[in-house]
Amino acid sequence: MILNDTGPLPQAQEMHLGFLLDTVEAVEAVYAQLQAAEQVIAVPLQKAQGQCLFYCLSPGGLTVEVAWRRPRPRA
């Protein structure tokens, strides 16, 4: 959390930790493990437009993104 003299900064609420995995299957596996462990899923698994991702909450309440994104073509 980011703090200043008056408390948390507004953008601190939008911050999250992200993990970019190598494959869609890896994202699906982590999602299944978290569901089996009854962890809080903030945004369910989504697959669209070259990406696969979901958001969950850490025990401390931090939003965590787990994702795979299709590599961009090199120019």
Query: Does 3 reside within a domain?
Result: no
Taking residue 47's Cβ as centre, other Cβ atoms within 10 Å add up to 13
Going by the DSSP 8-state scheme, the letter that residue 12 receives in this structure is G
Query: Does 44 reside within a domain?
Result: yes
Q: Left if phi > 0, otherwise alpha if psi is -120 to 50, otherwise beta: which for 50? A: left
Query: Does 7 reside within a domain?
Result: no
Closest CA to 70 of 31, 14, 24, 1: 24
CATH code of 19's domain: 3.10.180.10
Task: Please give the pLDDT value at position 28.
Answer: 98
Q: How many domains is the chain partitioned into structurally?
A: 1
What's the rounded mean pLDDT across residues 41-46?
Answer: 95
Integer Cα distance of 24 and 31 in angstroms: 11
pTM of the shown model: 0.78
Query: Does 75 reside within a domain?
Result: no
- Please state whether beta strands 7-8 and 51-57 pair in parallel, antiparallel, or not at all (unpaired): unpaired
Q: Is the per-residue pLDDT at 15 higher than 90? A: no
Q: Which domain holds residue 28?
A: 15-69
Query: Does 28 reside within a domain?
Result: yes
